[in-house]
Amino acid sequence: MSMVVAVVLIALVFTYINGFHDTANSIATVVATKVLTPGQAVLLAAITNLIGALWGTAVAKTIAAGLLDTSVVAAGSQLLICALASATVWNLITWWLGLPSSSSHALVGALVGAAIASSGDNFHSIIWMQGGDHWWTGKGVVPKVIVPMVVSPLLGFIMGFLLMGGLYALLSWFSNRKGFLRRFGRTPFVNSFFGKAQIVSASAMGLAHGMNDAQKSMGIIALALAGATAAGQFDQLPSWLHFLRINGSADGGFDVPSWVAVVCALTMAAGTAGGGWRIIKTLGHKMVKLHPINGFAAEGSSAAVILTASALGVPVSTTHNVSASIMGVGAAKRWNAIRWSVVERMVWAWILTLPITALLAYVGVRLAQAIVG
């Protein structure tokens, strides 16, 4: 029981850190373009993240029952504790360095490493690819993590590039008109209009982040509770604590309790106010100079990708999508508008996240096994 409590507490710590680590990505552009102050942006992000986190549980179900053999988790909570600790450590390191790495991939990498160690180096403890008439309808690390890790940033880049290019073409058309229409292409009007529009796109981005990222911690907590239930750890609980029990269905899945969703949503909303300027500075200032129209295009394109992924139960990276969308927007202006030295640092952080967190979690589980037995 104490181990389950530890998992829940560490998962909430991870959620809180995710709040100021990844939520910074969702508000970076609206702060960088000076449409909102950091305080206003944080408040907006906290509210929209809260709403998004309570809107569906598709991603939570993927994390809870779509990546690992739940029997491995039922054998003990060491796996989840080490996975969460490893992902949290990596998040803090990259946050301190100002690198917008992915909390999603940190968590998944850590889960994979911990599961392999917990199962005695049995790679079959990982659901690599399973079920579905097509690869995108099945479950497993390949269709739900590896493929989206590559595809979603590409989509973000392409959508950002096309949307920004389309807006530039539209503004050019207005600028070449005569009379009343000409004013729509002038800079004061453009900045004013897209400054207001960016509040909408920033809200969509916050909603998307809540729908995807907060649900990952929900999935971890649900996985811990389901494992403890299956192991009989809750059999002697008094009736008023029966809400902790989660019974699996015939297909190996289970529902995420409402109280788990609410607690995770509130924790992420609280974490949103806890920090994030380092990453905001990297995304919003160092990578490419942004104006309200650029921020609108970047947020709109990345929000569209993340919301679609959330509906499909795919735990994508907010960081990757926002960053890729910003790059696409910058490339639409001119290719050398992107500061490639900053992009290179970010890409290395992306590449290293999965293997490093997997290794950290693997070593953590092995050490725990050696100490505890």
> Given this model, what pLDDT does residue 288 score?
53
Rounded to whole angstroms, how far apart are CA atoms 180 and 187? Answer: 15
For the segment 63-91, the average pLDDT, to the nearest whole number, is 78
Of 48-52, 129-133, 312-316, the poorest mean pLDDT is in 129-133
- The pLDDT tens digits for 269-281 are 777 766 554 445 4
> Given this model, what pLDDT does residue 39 score?
74
CB 41: neighbour CB atoms within 10 A? 26
- Please give the C-alpha separations between residue 282 and each of 75, 98, 237, 338, 339, in angstroms, as whole numbers: 42, 7, 49, 12, 11
> Given this model, what pLDDT does residue 167 score?
93
Model pTM score: 0.80
> Given this model, what pLDDT does residue 322 score?
82
> Given this model, what pLDDT does residue 357 score?
93
> Given this model, what pLDDT does residue 295 score?
84
Q: Rounded to 10 degrees, what is the CA torsion of 147, 152, 157, 161?
A: 120
Rounded to whole angstroms, how far apart are CA atoms 116 and 70? Answer: 13
> Given this model, what pLDDT does residue 169 score?
92
How high is the mean pLDDT of the chain? 80
> Given this model, what pLDDT does residue 250 score?
43
**132 confidence band (pLDDT: 50, 70, 90):** low
Q: Which domain holds residue 119?
A: 2-372
Query: Higher model confidence: residue 98 or residue 250?
Result: 98
- CA within 13 Å, CB half, 89: 15
Query: Higher model confidence: residue 86 or residue 341?
Result: 86
- Please give the C-alpha separations between residue 133 and each of 5, 69, 236, 289, 311, in angstroms, as whole numbers: 38, 21, 42, 44, 18
**162 confidence band (pLDDT: 50, 70, 90):** very high
Q: Rounded to 10 degrees, what is the CA torsion of 79, 85, 91, 97?
A: -130
For the segment 293-312, the average pLDDT, to the nearest whole number, is 90
Rounded to whole angstroms, how far apart are CA atoms 108 and 271? Answer: 21
Query: Higher model confidence: residue 209 or residue 159?
Result: 159
**Minimal CA–CA distance to 107: which of 212, 248, 5, 256?**
212
> Given this model, what pLDDT does residue 284 score?
47
pLDDT exceeding 70 applies to what percent of the chain? 84
Of 9-18, 237-246, 259-268, the poorest mean pLDDT is in 237-246
Question: In this model, does residue 294 exceed pLDDT 80?
Answer: yes
- CA within 13 Å, CB half, 96: 6
Rounded to whole angstroms, how far apart are CA atoms 173 and 182? Answer: 9
> Given this model, what pLDDT does residue 260 score?
86
> Given this model, what pLDDT does residue 347 score?
75
- First vs last Cα of the chain: how many Å apart? 18
Question: In this model, does residue 225 exceed pLDDT 70?
Answer: yes
Provide the number of structural domains found in the chain: 1
